[in-house]
């Protein structure tokens, strides 16, 4: 089976000049949005990250056979088409065309197969549903939820989630409440402050307890005015996951404020200034 995948990759590269230019594919693929995938509630580890493009999630074609249990993945060089076979179902996906063939019948697809970083990616919902799976999207954690009766994910493909839904839930809420209208860099920075406090012995040891910390008075005003309970927008969820996966924009900062609206000068007078991002100043 592995030999087939190497042959598939080689065949794709050999016809590269006939398909979407690499720089266009790179521009289209959004790898800055961390996406998780589960099959029957088991988190998946993949050697190439999935990505979002125009609202659809794309996964490496190898994922189709390894995690979803398709019988065969091959490459039709003459027709520049990826071919997936599973039981009595054959899916043919021409690269760069918004059309597919299911057991010979032509069907329209919203997004075509793409080549990114020398890897072939397919729209996961379209392929999974035609392999007998149900697919849903958890917008609160940016996770693709795939269910297939009787499917068991191989041990080698199983992954422990790097962070749980509760961490994403509360971190995205405080980011949304504190940084609406701020750029992504600033949203990640707010997440950094929360996570830096979790790691610091000066503060509580969980995201929730840091947000609602009252040891020295209210630490974050959204817990007082109720805005912490608003539903976060997608960019706040993305910022939370980027911060949780280790992306830092303000180093080890433990404090931030908006100098135009801050009611107390304590942070300015007692902490070391680190950086300004849009409306927020960050302090160590």
State what percent of residues in the chain have pLDDT above 70.
90
State how far the Cα of 27 lies from the Cα of 31, in Å rounded to an integer. Answer: 10
CA 206 from chain centre, in angstroms, equals 22
The total of other beta-carbon atoms located within 10 Å of residue 167's CB is 21
Span 205-217, average pLDDT:
94
- Give buried/exposed letters for 171-203 (b at 16+ CB in 10 A, else e): bbbbbbbbbeebebebbbbbbbbbbbbbeeeeb
Residues 6+ apart with CB under 8 A from 158: 42, 43, 44, 45
Confirm if 153 and 40 have CB atoms less than 8 A apart.
Answer: yes
Task: Mark out the alpha helices in the chain (DSSP H runs).
Answer: 2-14, 22-28, 61-66, 124-129, 165-179, 184-199, 207-211, 222-225, 234-244, 266-270
The total of other beta-carbon atoms located within 10 Å of residue 259's CB is 12
Whole-number mean pLDDT of the chain? 86
Span 106-127, average pLDDT:
86
Helix, strand, coil content of the chain in percent (nearest 5)? 35, 25, 40
Which tens digits make up the pLDDT trace of 230-275? Answer: 999 999 999 999 999 999 999 999 999 999 998 889 999 999 999 9
Which tens digits make up the pLDDT trace of 17-76? Answer: 233 333 444 446 778 889 999 999 999 988 788 998 888 899 988 887 788 888 888 888
Confirm if 175 and 191 have CB atoms less than 8 A apart.
Answer: yes
Determine the pLDDT at residue 28.
65
Residues 6+ apart with CB under 8 A from 216: none
User: Which is higher by pLDDT, 79 or 26?
Assistant: 79
**Is the per-residue pLDDT at 282 higher than 90?**
yes
**Is the per-residue pLDDT at 7 higher than 80?**
no
Determine the pLDDT at residue 24.
42
Provide the pLDDT confidence category of residue 170 given band limits of 50, 70 and 90.
very high
Q: Answer positive or negative: Cα dihedral of 9, 13, 19, 20.
A: positive
Confirm if 82 and 17 have CB atoms less than 8 A apart.
Answer: no
State both tokens at 3.
């030999």
- Give the strands of the sheet with 99-102, arranged side by side: 72-76, 81-86, 89-94, 99-102, 105-108
The total of other beta-carbon atoms located within 10 Å of residue 27's CB is 10
Determine the pLDDT at residue 263.
85
State how far the Cα of 171 lies from the Cα of 159, in Å rounded to an integer. Answer: 22
Span 129-145, average pLDDT:
92
Give the domains, in start order, of the chain with CATH numbers.
2-157 (3.30.457.10), 165-283 (1.10.10.2520)
Span 180-191, average pLDDT:
96
State how far the Cα of 35 lies from the Cα of 33, in Å rounded to an integer. Answer: 6
How far apart, in Å, are the Cα atoms of 127 and each of 21, 23, 36? 23, 25, 17
Q: Output the pTM of the full model.
A: 0.80
Determine the pLDDT at residue 143.
93
**Lowest mean per-residue pLDDT among 110-124, 155-169, 205-219:** 110-124
State what percent of residues in the chain have pLDDT above 90.
55
**Is the per-residue pLDDT at 194 higher than 90?**
yes
Provide the pLDDT confidence category of residue 10 given band limits of 50, 70 and 90.
very low
Confirm if 189 and 183 have CB atoms less than 8 A apart.
Answer: no
Determine the pLDDT at residue 217.
84
Span 186-191, average pLDDT:
98
Confirm if 111 and 123 have CB atoms less than 8 A apart.
Answer: yes
30 three-state secondary structure? strand
């Amino acid at each position: 089976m592995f030999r087939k995948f190497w042959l598939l990759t080689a065949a794709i590269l050999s016809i590269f000049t006939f398909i979407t230019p690499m720089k266009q594919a790179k521009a289209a693929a959004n790898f800055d949005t961390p996406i998780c995938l589960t099959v029957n509630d088991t988190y998946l580890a993949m050697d190439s990250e999935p990505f979002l493009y125009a609202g659809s999630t794309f996964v490496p074609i190898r994922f189709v056979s390894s995690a979803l249990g398709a019988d065969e993945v091959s490459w039709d060089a003459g027709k520049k088409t990826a071919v997936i076979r599973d039981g009595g179902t054959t899916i043919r996906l021409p690269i760069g065309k918004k059309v597919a063939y299911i057991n010979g019948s032509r069907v329209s697809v919203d997004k075509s197969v793409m080549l990114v970083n020398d890897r072939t990616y397919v729209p996961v919902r379209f392929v999974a549903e035609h392999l007998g799976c149900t697919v849903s999207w958890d917008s609160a954690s940016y996770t693709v939820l795939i269910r297939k009766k009787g499917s068991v994910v191989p041990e080698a493909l199983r992954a422990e989630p790097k962070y749980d839904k509760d961490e994403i839930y509360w971190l995205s809420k405080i980011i949304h409440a504190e940084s609406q209208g701020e750029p992504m860099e600033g949203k990640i920075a707010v997440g950094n402050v929360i996570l830096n406090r979790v790691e610091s012995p000066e503060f509580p040891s969980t995201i929730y307890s840091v947000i609602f910390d009252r040891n020295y008075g209210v630490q974050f005003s959204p817990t007082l005015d109720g805005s912490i309970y608003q539903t976060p927008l997608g960019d706040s969820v993305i910022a939370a996951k980027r911060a949780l996966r280790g992306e830092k924009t303000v180093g080890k900062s433990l404090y931030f404020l908006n100098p135009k609206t801050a009611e107390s000068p304590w942070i300015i007078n007692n902490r070391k200034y680190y950086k300004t991002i849009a409306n927020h100043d960050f302090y160590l």
